[in-house]
Amino acid sequence: MPSATGRSRSLREKLAILADAAKYDASCASSGTTKRNARASGGIGSTEGSGICHAYAPDGRCISLLKLLLTNACIYDCAYCINRVSSRIEREAFTPEEVVDLTLAFYRRNYIEGLFLSSGIIRSADHTMEQLVRVAKTLRVTHGFQGYIHLKTIPDASAELIDEAGRWADRLSINIELPTERGLRSFAPEKSGRVIKSSMAALRTGIDASRETPRRGGRHRPPRFAPAGQSTQMIVGADGASDLTILTTSRTLYTSYDLRRVYYSAFSPIPDASSALPPSPPPLVREHRLYQADWLTRFYGFELADLERATDGGMLDLEIDPKLAWALAHRDRFPVDLNRAPREMLLRVPGLGVKAVDAILRTRRHRRMRFEDLTRLTPTARKAKPFIALEGWQPARLLDAADLRARFVRPAAQLDLFAAAPAPVSGPDSAPVSATVSAAAAAATP
Ligand code: SF4
């Protein structure tokens, strides 16, 4: 597409525009792909081996993929999206061949382990999906590309095109966009929650079928279809939905469509935005708390009802993590005896992650644990201290202390520009985030 002066942009200029436009999509982690080795296939690119790095931003986003939009020109008008048709931004588009060339060039330089490709809606859902599929197919078939490919799927594209996308991509994703149907109707009138969910159901059917084990002695192998599964993204803070509503929607998506991940992306105001949208972004720490709560329901045995009791009017506590909030609201369930408690209860102890719990279970098979043992197993042993009992340690009145919550809350402080980068989010027991950071993410792509 020509620039404002009528000149055609160079590939580098297009890249600057379309890589920047893609940054709003959070759903790009590459976990779960099958391992492939280029040396074995005679093609290029591997999903394992030396030189491939998985870099994660503090909020858990994967940054080792070439992340692009095919175009930021979109015929839809989703109010929260910078690429909507009514937005006054520079528009640009790659050809599928340009995306293929860029991916190969970045891959050969070892900058990336794969491609994350999304797009605004060009002309129609099918036309857009055709272009996305063409990129993936050309990479796989013409160039023998064995790296990771994540394609954003257009919900109302034809079943044949989605089928083909699943054949070439590792992961497919369809953005649910907003946690409620009402929010979608208000802010993305061209989209339909029913269509989005029925596309997710179709993806699940294809993914499940491809995982079926061939009958013994049978020669039939199920066709390959998105081996790294499907994911989605939800925008947080645009439509007034509470954290509990967001987590309830996520739970439904995980159970109904077997999603690998729901990504939460904090809304941030965009130029010429609708007056129905909030004027300021939610604190980025809200995303972080949602990821922690999401983790608790998926890996720590927490139910939504547990989380509800740890919220205030459906909103998670921004100052402390949701597991700690739950523990403080259920002090009668503590202290937990680390030498005797079942795994489910150990997982409820603030400061103990899944790995620490499994290490405790292994250790106590041989001897009774002392607090010093715990400090060797996890760096967050001090956080667990008021909630546990073990050889040589009883919390006594500490557990009932009126100021126990306050002891976990760090005073808000100005971030130091020259301090070391904060640790990435690894689960609900990562250190509390006390500074409110302005959100960088806003709208999504289809
Ligand atoms: S969210 Fe997707 S469909 Fe909606 S305006 Fe943005 S790019 Fe277009």
Query: Does one domain contain both 375 and 303?
Result: no
Cα-to-centroid distance, 182 and ligand 1 (Å): 17
Confidence (pLDDT) at 31: 43
Residue 440: pLDDT band with limits 50, 70, 90: very low
Give pLDDT tens digits for 88-116.
899 999 999 999 999 999 999 888 889 99
Give pLDDT tens digits for 188-199.
999 999 999 999
Contact predicate 304/247, CB 8 Å? yes
Residue 442: pLDDT band with limits 50, 70, 90: very low
Cα-to-centroid distance, 445 and ligand 1 (Å): 5
Average pLDDT, integer, range 241-261: 97
Nearest atom within ligand 1 for CA of residue 443: 1
Angle at the Cα of 404 from the Cα atoms of 401 and 408, rounded to 5 degrees: 165
Residue 434: pLDDT band with limits 50, 70, 90: very low
Query: Does one domain contain both 257 and 371?
Result: no
Average pLDDT, integer, range 174-202: 94
The CATH number linked to 99 is 3.20.20.70
Residue 428: pLDDT band with limits 50, 70, 90: low
Confidence (pLDDT) at 64: 79
Distance CA 446, CA 254 (A): 19
Give pLDDT tens digits for 320-365.
999 999 999 999 999 999 999 999 999 999 999 999 999 999 999 9
370 CB burial (10 A radius; 0-12, 13-18, 19+): middle
Give the global pTM.
Answer: 0.83
How big, in percent rounded to 5, are the helix, strand and coil portions of the chain? 40, 10, 50
Kindly state whether residue 436 falls inside one of the protein's structural domains: no
**Cis bond before residue 335 (omega within 30° of 0):** yes
Kindly state whether residue 441 falls inside one of the protein's structural domains: no
Query: Does one domain contain both 330 and 186?
Result: no
Query: Does one domain contain both 102 and 191?
Result: yes
Residue with the bigger pLDDT between 58 and 278: it is 278
Residue with the bigger pLDDT between 287 and 268: it is 287
Nearest atom within ligand 1 for CA of residue 445: 2
Distance CA 25, CA 265 (A): 8
Residues with CB under 6 A from ligand 1: 74, 76, 78, 81, 83-84, 120-121, 188, 443-446
Query: Does one domain contain both 198 and 292?
Result: yes
Provide the domain count of the chain: 2
Query: Does one domain contain both 313 and 295?
Result: no
Nearest CA-CA partner of 341 in 373, 364, 316: 364
Query: Does one domain contain both 255 and 334?
Result: no
Tell me the residue range of the domain where 396 lies: 308-408
Query: Does one domain contain both 255 and 361?
Result: no
Nearest atom within ligand 1 for CA of residue 69: 7
State percent of the chain over pLDDT 90: 66
Query: Does one domain contain both 239 and 362?
Result: no
Nearest atom within ligand 1 for CA of residue 446: 2
